[in-house]
Amino acid sequence: MSDPRTTPSIFTRGAVDLSALRSPAPAKPAAPSRPADTDGEPTGGVPGTLPGLSPETIIDVTETNFQSTVLERSLTTPVILDFWADWCGPCKQLSPILEKLAVEGQGAWVLGKVDVDANPRLAQVFRVQGIPMVLAVIGGQPVEGFTGVLPEVQVKQYIDAVLKAAGVNSGAAPVEDPRLDAADDALMVGDLDAAEAAYKKILAESPADAAAEAGLAQVELYRRIGGEDPASVLARAAADPDDIEAQRLAADVEVLSGQAADAYARLVALVKRTSGEDREAVRKHLLSLFSVAGPDDPAVAGARRALASALF
């Protein structure tokens, strides 16, 4: 994933023409993409939408309201667009992560949900070739994003980078640490050796630095999964539930696919079925995955309780 703080946007000025979207798209008869159920509520719409949210936090973006909800709003508040479709399985993994972070952002940025089936012109203008696809709009201009599902910690990194690029304070921001910025930048461009050295240096100087610990755990996770085919990894694990290495690697794949809770459950179940050195190896692997997410992740808290129950 590229960092918009340091990487030139793929959307160079003029390359993406948003001017056509500054006025409503011509009306055309079409079946609604989110039909109402018997209670009058929409169905088949934004996957995982949290109830009772302010429209200022998460909004449905259409060709008709694009000017007001995205272009005009982005002049004062960054808008992060989530291109999705109801039939898209990975979208249902990423959308809840984005929506959770939007709520936690408390208005520092706005999440715009774009149903590509209902808004093909938006998908065409933004050159959507695969979904889920995420990008930001700052000051009326698009900023590079990512395609596919990422773990929550990396989605947070992207959002933080967008806010920094927009000059927005996301709240009580911690004091800037140039050492951590350099380590994160190395991780984002895939220089695992440089990232590892930088995170280790921080931990040598500040052993309790949770961000550096999480970063180092990410480096180790990328190294373990490098060159592996996710589908093959999961198939091997399904074929042999007692293959320790296959199960650990499958958990890595699940974390990188945005299915951390499934990864934790997989390894907790393996702890219950193992003993001795095998159990200890699985336990340590699970703790390393906890480090990737960070201690405040609610899924980690639940998995820690499950692990304690499995051990004792």
Q: What is the pLDDT of residues 65-107, one digit of tens each?
A: 998 889 888 888 899 999 999 999 999 999 999 999 999 888 8
132 Cβ contact list (under 8 Å, min separation 6): 82, 83, 84, 88, 90, 91, 94, 95, 147, 148, 149
Q: What are phi and psi of 187, to 5 degrees?
A: -65, -40
138 in helix, strand or coil? strand
Which DSSP letter does residue 22 get? G
The residue written with tokens 């149903």 in the block is 115
Alpha carbon separation from 49 to 60, 72, 296 (Å, rounded):
10, 24, 22
CA–CA separation, 223 vs 218, rounded Å? Answer: 9
Instruction: Pick the catalytic residue from 1, 70, 71, 88.
Output: 88
CA angle 82, 86, 92 (to 5 degrees): 60
To the query of whether residue 35 is one of the catalytic residues in this protein, the response is no
Instruction: Pick the catalytic residue from 70, 80, 91, 260.
Output: 91
Alpha carbon separation from 121 to 29, 66, 154, 206, 310 (Å, rounded):
15, 11, 29, 50, 52
Scanning 189-273, the segments in alpha helix (DSSP H) are 192-205, 210-225, 230-239, 244-256, 260-273
Could you read off the pLDDT tens digit of each residue along the chain, which spans 312 residues? 433 333 333 333 233 445 545 554 444 333 333 333 434 433 334 433 334 334 478 999 999 999 888 988 888 889 999 999 999 999 999 999 999 999 988 888 999 999 999 999 999 988 888 899 999 998 888 888 888 888 888 898 889 888 888 876 655 444 567 888 888 888 888 889 998 999 999 888 888 788 888 888 888 888 888 888 889 999 999 999 989 999 999 999 988 877 888 999 999 999 999 889 998 999 999 988 888 886 667 778 888 888 888 887
Here the tokens at position 54 are 């302010």
To the query of whether residue 91 is one of the catalytic residues in this protein, the response is yes
The residue written with tokens 């929506």 in the block is 99
